Structure 1
Amino acid sequence: MSSKRYKAVLFSILMPCSIYLAQATTAEQYYALIDNQVAASASTEQRIVQLSASLLGAPYVDGNLGEGEFGQYDRDPLYRFDVFDCTTYVETVLAGALSTSSHDFADNINKIRYQDGLVSFVTRNHFASADWLPNNQGLLQDITTQVGQAETLIATTLIDKPAWYQAMKEDRLQSLPDSVNKQERLDALHHEGQAFQAQSVSTAYVPLTAVFQGDQINQALLDRIPNGSIISMVRPDYDVKKWIGTNLNITHQSIAVRKDGQLFLRHASQLKKEVTDEDFIEYFAKYRDNATLKGFNVQQAHF
């Protein structure tokens, strides 16, 4: 074997170990922070802010979690700490903040990510407006109307889960071994989707017109957004059915944090390609004249 080929083979063997060790170290640090917070009797707000800050700079990777090594359709990890998308980031932070010990983390992220904590593709909280928010109301409280008051609006849409499942292609199957017949597995996934029904959903949101009032910023409204609250971007009846089989109400999730009195969005940003902080007003100002993003939903953790 040539020296070049030997090095390539050696790299392919050692690389997964290196990745695992890097993740384990990050997990160890995250678990230590959870335990330190518990020992310090940190408040829910403090836990969310501190845990979310510990993951700043992590790369953005879409669809990075699945049902683990025994998943039928998606064998990506159940949780990880090295990469995030917008929702897996929020889930990881909330699971850590909810934990009374680092040993609770795995169970807690499953409770947040899956209906009744039952791990499977079909019980995953895929849709923020139809699944994730309503199924987590035991941990979260929708305070959108308290923030938006009389200016609060309601977005409605039809989440067509059967059509969403039917629109799935083979690339929706993640990390399955070559021994699996992908077409048969996809057919099985399509069949499972037939058990669902299209669901009408309503999502309360603070319209951007309530935040930006001419040349003025409604600071009193912004002051009503709690530190550490979950902010979901609302695009009422977002017309993406031709691509994914269903329309949506929510397309992005983040965490509101205050630093030196200034409000930021802390999120796994697809545009920035990492977990980052963005000035709240500057972020939403980009969408003032946008035809689809109309406002945001606000949830406060109460555990």
Structure 2
Amino acid sequence: MPFLASVMLAAALTAAAEPKQIYQMSPQEAGAFIAEVRRAEPDLRKRIATIGRRNIGQPYKLNLLGEFPYELHDTLPMYSLSASDCLVFAEHTYAMALSSSWEEFFWTLQRIRYKDGVIGVASRNHYMEVDWNINNHWLLSDASSGASYAMRVDRAQFLKVQHHVQRDIPVQDTQESYLPVERALREFGTLGEGDMVEVVSVRKGQHMVTHVGLVVLDAQGARHFLHSSAPEVREEPFEAFIARTQARADNGLAGFKFMRLNEAIVVPPSAPQPRPGA
């Protein structure tokens, strides 16, 4: 066999022997992977880390998910395997870790993405502080303290501008707790595998959560930050993430919210899906 052909064959055999990352899988392959991880690893925290790491290298892309074809305000689908943004990565990882089949994953994903699991752009958990964290209190608990910020949320304006959808929703004012950077650095070591870290930044004079990621442990037990950020999903020391963020002139980094994974999680049932227009 010519040398070049033998090299190409060896490379092909090596690639075939390496397990696929999730973003390289079909839904059928992802479903089989979910079932196998659930069978092989009974510990939820370890499943979260295993599943999250099987997406390292997944391309980062904004504006990935929507309600299509259930709603027609855009053409974005209800799940994505091929790419992620920070929240899509976290939601898909949690939903897969809590499931034992593709069908259960897809249902659980919608339970996490939407208030009471009711699908719709207006019921989607758009704001981490006042939507996602509150509506997923069965999954994670806020363990942040040390400082606070005021936040005003105008969901009606957001839906009108971003999605061209009219909804009569009152403006909400809230006070949110968080950990300034130095305190977060000290307390990061208290987090467990599978916990969520939410990055609090200042944008146009207002504090808000702008990024999220998961806590994982390396072989020596050191905690790392696993997250989807341009150009792809990566795992890195928390200190390295902070240094890289602070190196940007317009970073606006204020601190973090630490969300601890609850013990003995039971995914609650979804509310009935209302008939549109009823």
TM-score range relative to shorter protein: 0.7 to 0.9
Contact 1:232 1:297 in 2 (8 A): yes
Give the aligned partner of residue 278 of structure 1: 236
Shift of 1:196: 1.0
Give the aligned partner of residue 131 of structure 1: 131
Shift of 1:69: 1.7
Partner Cα distance (2:222, 2:179) in 1: 19
Give the aligned partner of residue 255 of structure 1: 214
Note closer, same or farther for the CA distance 1:278–1:268 as it changes in structure 2 (3 Å cut): same
Note closer, same or farther for the CA distance 1:286–1:274 as it changes in structure 2 (3 Å cut): closer
Please identify runs of 4+ aligned residues in structure 1 that moved more than 6 A.
none
Give the aligned partner of residue 8 of structure 2: none
Is 2:155 the counterpart of 1:161? yes
Note closer, same or farther for the CA distance 1:222–1:165 as it changes in structure 2 (3 Å cut): closer
Partner Cα distance (2:207, 2:118) in 1: 24
Give the aligned partner of residue 232 of structure 1: 198
RMSD: 2.3
Partner Cα distance (1:62, 1:291) in 2: 18
Give the aligned partner of residue 171 of structure 2: 198
Contact 1:74 1:121 in 2 (8 A): no
Q: TM-score normalized by structure 2?
A: 0.78
The amino acid across from 1:231 in the alignment is V
Contact 1:156 1:249 in 2 (8 A): no
Give SS of 2:61's match: coil
The amino acid across from 1:48 in the alignment is I
Give the aligned partner of residue 16 of structure 1: none
Q: TM-score normalized by structure 1?
A: 0.72
Partner Cα distance (2:226, 2:23) in 1: 22
Partner Cα distance (1:70, 1:263) in 2: 40
Q: Which runs of 5+ in 1 are unaligned?
A: 1-21, 146-151, 173-185, 213-217, 241-246
Give the aligned partner of residue 19 of structure 2: none
Give the aligned partner of residue 5 of structure 2: none
Give the aligned partner of residue 53 of structure 2: 53
Shift of 1:24: 8.6
Partner Cα distance (1:287, 1:79) in 2: 28
Give the aligned partner of residue 70 of structure 1: 70
Q: Percent identity?
A: 24
Shift of 1:161: 1.8
Shift of 1:99: 1.3
Is 2:228 the counterpart of 1:268? yes
Shift of 1:202: 2.9
Give the aligned partner of residue 298 of structure 1: 258
Contact 1:203 1:249 in 2 (8 A): no
Partner Cα distance (1:201, 1:96) in 2: 32
Give the aligned partner of residue 181 of structure 2: 208
Deviations 1:244-266, CA, capped at 9 Å, x for gaps: xxx55111111111212332211
Give SS of 2:253's match: coil
Shift of 1:279: 1.8
Partner Cα distance (1:76, 1:255) in 2: 25
Give the aligned partner of residue 90 of structure 2: 90
Equivalent residue pairs, number: 239
Partner Cα distance (2:84, 2:25) in 1: 17
Q: Which runs of 5+ in 2 are unaligned?
A: 1-21, 266-278
Give SS of 1:121's match: coil
Partner Cα distance (1:250, 1:26) in 2: 32
The amino acid across from 2:199 in the alignment is M
